[in-house]
Amino acid sequence: MNRSRAVFYHAGCPVCVEAEQKVAQAVDPLKYDVEIVHLGKAKSRIAEAEASGVKSVPALVLDGVPFHINFGAGIEALK
Query: Looking at beta carbons only, is 10 or 44 nearer to a copy of itself?
Result: 10
Closest distance between a copy of itself and the C-beta of residue 50, in Å?
A: 14
Which positions touch a copy of itself (CB under 8 A)?
6, 19, 22-23, 25-32, 55, 60, 62-63, 65, 67-72
Based on its alpha-carbon atoms, the radius of gyration of the chain, rounded to whole angstroms, reads 13
Closest distance between a copy of itself and the C-beta of residue 14, in Å?
A: 17
- What does each C-alpha distance from 24 to 18, 37, 68, 75, 79 come to in angstroms? 10, 11, 12, 23, 26
Query: Looking at beta carbons only, is 28 or 35 nearer to a copy of itself?
Result: 28
Query: Looking at beta carbons only, is 12 or 25 nearer to a copy of itself?
Result: 25
Start-to-end Cα distance in the chain: 46
Element (DSSP H or E) covering residue 18: helix 17-26
